Chains A and B, each alone.
Chain A
């Protein structure tokens, strides 16, 4: 399926969707949003490209192979939650720092954001892996990494 309309629209939608996914990720800090929905939203433009162009184009858009994204995300999320153990607190305890901002406000930065970033990467990795493997001949057959 090669549709010029879809291809052109994809070109404009792609950056918007990526930006929106980052927005959702950061918004999850205090309001509805977060890593899971952000990661899903980040996988949407990749899926769109796979539909509009083909799977290889979509695959090359990702900075890393899905399985590596998954590993990286898991490592981030697990690292954050295990990090609390080293600070003598139970698993998954959040730590926060308050940064004074130039405008006079205060920015609360916490490890939950990092945890969410990990989830974002995991979801992105899993969803793109599923999309790619459904699009290829034999789903469930994990692609060996050639990069």
Chain B
């Protein structure tokens, strides 16, 4: 029995239910939602403390012993991801109170947001592949509804594309799970880790490839990313921030988990090489797409894809150092990316547009806002001492150690292009004078400014803090990498899950 491993799921669930009961009062719903987000953040911190103190935590749901029941497991990687989900949730809830259309917010926005957070945390915590599928679906269904809520033409069209592509990915995931069960006879990840090595190499490789496709769509890896820039930018900034920060990272997390625990990447044929090539292509196409865009959020959406490439390259290098760097990069990117989307929402509230040609002069109007943009933007490009610098430095170092010089060169070149496209936003939104035809900017009321800019500022501050405290934080991600890929492999995880009833 281990309370901390289930609280990150129970708290959002209870929040969603209670706020459904407060259906008629938006005010009450907002307070419940805020309390729920704070609770989630608290439980994430508690989980982290427990993992730091006592190693991997596991609990058997329904008291059914593993591998027959569903196990919830938390190691360093899980705890980090849950903490990120908690931070994003805490930032987005107050932000959305001020920025989401009232009509949309009344249409079950807050319950759905917490169901989404529950799905995300469930996917991070579960130790069972089929259960992972279920959490993916929980997350997807709530994200579908959140996307469709706006009900205007671009949102509906974006939602339709998002739904169609993700349904195909879910189908591939489900089929892979079924075939894996037929081949091995278990779906508990720890149990799989002990049994997959005995599997025929050909079967193992083809199964690993089909999981790669399924997670590749969710994580928006080249060439499976088309749904992302077609749908993310149609959302209200708050929703886009949570999608950009968390949803694709769940796909990345699933890759990290499955390819270190179930199919050890270097053992399944050409998958590692394929992943390495795909990750480089992801970086390049993402950033080239971004450079070509002229709409603020579409540009940022393409950047998500490019950054996913860095995380996947870290996984594909498959050394303890690169995995640690990858986990660090995921953390840095989740924070920086969400912040950028939050800033884009603040800009839109003032100007009423996301079109780069129609924006301008924001620096003169609000230097403070310019700073909030500059911090995560420079962090994304990898300028010291911000968080992205350390993340990229470690990935480059891991690449050099693994003699993957092409990957290192690609990563560095893409960094340069990232800086270029960020400076494009900077020029267009902050420095250039606004076109004369544009109406004067709206001055948002003080309450709205507080609700929107405080969470954004805290998130922006994180990019500095993560950069400055990189030493201890990197030690922590190294602990995560050791659990995944340490000298004893995943045996700690396996023992913790299966050992209890032995």
Q: Which residues of A contact B68 (CB under 8 A)?
A: none
Across the interface, A90 reaches (CB within 8 A) one of B14, B60, B106, B151, namely B60
Asked if B61 and A92 make an inter-chain contact with CB atoms under 8 angstroms apart, the answer reads: yes
Which residues B43-97 have CB closer than 8 A to chain A? 59-63
Nearest Cβ on chain A to B309's Cβ, whole angstroms: 34
Q: Which residues of B contact A144 (CB under 8 A)?
A: 106
Q: Which residues of A contact B24 (CB under 8 A)?
A: 145
Please, how many angstroms separate the alpha-carbon atoms of A92 and B9 in the complex? Answer: 13
For residue A138, CB closer than 8 A to chain B, the reply is yes
Interface 0/1 of B15-36, CB less than 8 Å to A:
0110011011000000000000
- A-B pairs, top 5 by smallest CB distance, nearest first, are A71-B20, A92-B62, A93-B63, A142-B107, A91-B6
Please, how many angstroms separate the alpha-carbon atoms of A85 and B63 in the complex? Answer: 11
Chain A residues with a Cβ under 8 A of chain B: 67-68, 70-71, 74-75, 78, 82, 85, 88-94, 138, 140-142, 144-145
Decide yes or no: A91 and B59 within 8 Å by CB, A75-B21, A140-B149, A145-B23 being known contacts: yes
Across the interface, B14 reaches (CB within 8 A) one of A67, A78, A94, namely A78
Q: Which residues of A contact B106 (CB under 8 A)?
A: 144
Closest-by-CB residue of B relative to A65 is B23
Decide yes or no: A67 and B20 within 8 Å by CB, A82-B10, A141-B107, A142-B107 being known contacts: yes
- Classify chain B's interface size: 20 to 34
Asked if B6 and A85 make an inter-chain contact with CB atoms under 8 angstroms apart, the answer reads: yes
Asked if B10 and A90 make an inter-chain contact with CB atoms under 8 angstroms apart, the answer reads: no
Chain B residues with a Cβ under 8 A of chain A: 1-3, 6, 10, 13-14, 16-17, 20-21, 23-24, 59-63, 106-108, 145, 148-149, 151
Please, how many angstroms separate the alpha-carbon atoms of A68 and B13 in the complex? Answer: 16
Nearest Cβ on chain A to B388's Cβ, whole angstroms: 38
Nearest Cβ on chain B to A4's Cβ, whole angstroms: 38
Q: Which residues of A contact B59 (CB under 8 A)?
A: 90-91
Please, how many angstroms separate the alpha-carbon atoms of A121 and B149 in the complex? Answer: 24
Q: Which residues of B contact A82 (CB under 8 A)?
A: 10, 14
Closest-by-CB residue of A relative to B3 is A85
Q: Which residues of A contact B149 (CB under 8 A)?
A: 140
Asked if A90 and B108 make an inter-chain contact with CB atoms under 8 angstroms apart, the answer reads: no
Q: Which residues of A contact B20 (CB under 8 A)?
A: 67, 70-71, 74
Nearest Cβ on chain A to B174's Cβ, whole angstroms: 18
Asked if A89 and B23 make an inter-chain contact with CB atoms under 8 angstroms apart, the answer reads: no
Asked if B23 and A71 make an inter-chain contact with CB atoms under 8 angstroms apart, the answer reads: yes
Please, how many angstroms separate the alpha-carbon atoms of A91 and B17 in the complex? Answer: 17
Nearest Cβ on chain A to B177's Cβ, whole angstroms: 20
Closest-by-CB residue of B relative to A142 is B107
Please, how many angstroms separate the alpha-carbon atoms of A141 and B150 in the complex? Answer: 9
Q: Which residues of B contact A91 (CB under 8 A)?
A: 6, 10, 59, 61-62
Nearest Cβ on chain A to B125's Cβ, whole angstroms: 11
Asked if B61 and A78 make an inter-chain contact with CB atoms under 8 angstroms apart, the answer reads: no
Please, how many angstroms separate the alpha-carbon atoms of A88 and B2 in the complex? Answer: 9
Please, how many angstroms separate the alpha-carbon atoms of A91 and B2 in the complex? Answer: 9
Q: Which residues of B contact A138 (CB under 8 A)?
A: 151
Asked if B23 and A90 make an inter-chain contact with CB atoms under 8 angstroms apart, the answer reads: no
Closest-by-CB residue of B relative to A67 is B23
Nearest Cβ on chain A to B182's Cβ, whole angstroms: 24
Nearest Cβ on chain A to B238's Cβ, whole angstroms: 18
9 contacts between A and B (CB under 8 A): A67-B20, A68-B23, A71-B21, A74-B13, A85-B3, A85-B6, A90-B59, A92-B62, A141-B107
Q: Which residues of B contact A70 (CB under 8 A)?
A: 20
Please, how many angstroms separate the alpha-carbon atoms of A78 and B11 in the complex? Answer: 11
Nearest Cβ on chain B to A118's Cβ, whole angstroms: 10
Closest-by-CB residue of A relative to B19 is A71
Nearest Cβ on chain B to A71's Cβ, whole angstroms: 4
Please, how many angstroms separate the alpha-carbon atoms of A94 and B69 in the complex? Answer: 13
Q: Which residues of A contact B2 (CB under 8 A)?
A: 90
Asked if B17 and A93 make an inter-chain contact with CB atoms under 8 angstroms apart, the answer reads: no
Q: Which residues of A contact B60 (CB under 8 A)?
A: 90
Please, how many angstroms separate the alpha-carbon atoms of A49 and B3 in the complex? Answer: 46
Please, how many angstroms separate the alpha-carbon atoms of A74 and B21 in the complex? Answer: 10
Asked if B151 and A140 make an inter-chain contact with CB atoms under 8 angstroms apart, the answer reads: yes
Please, how many angstroms separate the alpha-carbon atoms of A86 and B375 in the complex? Answer: 45
Asked if A89 and B21 make an inter-chain contact with CB atoms under 8 angstroms apart, the answer reads: no
Closest-by-CB residue of A relative to B145 is A140
Please, how many angstroms separate the alpha-carbon atoms of A91 and B20 in the complex? Answer: 22
Please, how many angstroms separate the alpha-carbon atoms of A94 and B63 in the complex? Answer: 9
Interface contacts beyond A67-B20, A88-B1, A90-B2: sample of 17 additional A-B pairs, CB < 8 Å, sorted by A: A71-B20, A74-B20, A78-B17, A82-B14, A89-B63, A90-B1, A90-B59, A90-B60, A90-B62, A91-B10, A91-B61, A92-B61, A92-B62, A140-B145, A140-B151, A141-B107, A142-B108
